[in-house]
Amino acid sequence: MYDKDILNLKSALNALNKIINYFSGYDNADGFYHNQRDFNASMMNFIVIGEMVSRLSDGTVDKYKNVDWYKIRGFRNIIAHNYFGIDAEEVWDIIQNHLPELQIELQKMITSKECVSEESSELDRWR
């Protein structure tokens, strides 16, 4: 069976890549914030990331303790429940300073989990 965690991680990575794409080309938080299409699309994708990581199995969350899952889910909740209180500078900082490292970690997790899934299905075939 295909691991649901892989699907959730891939969905989170896809949303993260969209944010980076929307963000590129801006020189400052103010310019990014005032382009409501790109800013709002990014906020929606932050919500997607938070939703996807909240669906990860306890085993995956426990295995990757270097990722601050709590903060990721917490930021999703801030956006969803306090949308008009979002600080554009904070969003700018997260995109610039935290998303690139999360992107790398998600890619590593996906690669690692896909390898494990392939090995498991190969073993299952021989059982």
What is each CA distance from 71 to 27, 35, 94, 114, in whole angstroms?
26, 26, 11, 26
- Does residue 126 lie in a domain region? no
Round to whole Å and give the CA distance between 104 and 94.
15
Residue 46 Cα distances to 77, 120, 122, angstroms: 10, 32, 35
Q: Kindly report the pTM of this predicted structure.
A: 0.86
Per-residue pLDDT of the chain (127 residues; tens, 9 = 90+): 248 999 999 999 999 999 999 999 899 999 999 999 999 999 999 999 999 999 999 999 999 999 999 999 999 999 999 878 899 999 999 999 999 999 999 999 999 876 655 545 554 555 4
Asked whether residue 124 is assigned to any structural domain, the reply reads no
Domain carrying residue 57: 4-118
Q: Does any domain span residue 114?
A: yes
* Residue 127, domain member (yes or no): no
Is 123 contained in some domain?
no
Q: 112 in a domain, yes or no?
A: yes
Number of structural domains the chain divides into = 1
